[in-house]
Amino acid sequence: MKGIRLFLVFFVVLVVLVIVRTTNKNLFKNDASGAVQAGQKNLVSVSQLKNRAGSFLVVSIDPEPVSHPFAAENTIHIPFEKLLEKDNRKKLQNEKGGILLYSTDLALSSKAWVILNQLKFNNVYILSEEENPEEFKYTFQPEPSIRLE
């Protein structure tokens, strides 16, 4: 009987801790939906980078080091999987200027931006090779031989 009471007390305490942990809104500093909307404003193209004043750190987050469309002496390679390791986070936190995330896959850069933004990293931008990657490159032309029914 005493063992059952001890188990029930332990179980109730565990359930209360799980509920408190899952309802905590401070797990991330910023709201994820707000971060996604702000991410659209923080896209920097290579041409904009050349005109940009101030210091910045370009972080290549591809799994393997690749050649970039720009030459910058302040470029470091941190694979996406190791971005949140303690040493790498210290490197990013100690950066006084902006942090530009670069990957050949724009989706990977966006994921890293959302994670860093939610962890309260300021001045983090996504570096894109194109001016506006969301813009269509070709005009839509419907097939002329198909008729509407």
**Per-residue confidence band for 148, with pLDDT thresholds at 50, 70 and 90:** low
User: Is the distance from CB of 55 to CB of 96 less than 8 angstroms?
Assistant: yes
120 torsion bin: left (phi>0), alpha (psi -120 to 50), beta (else):
left
Q: What is the mean pLDDT of residues 54-65?
A: 82
Q: pLDDT, tens digit, for every residue of 75-104?
A: 888 999 999 898 988 988 888 888 888 888
User: Is the distance from CB of 30 to CB of 117 less than 8 angstroms?
Assistant: yes
Please report where in the chains the tokens 């839509």 appear, as a residue: 140
This prediction has a pTM of 0.61
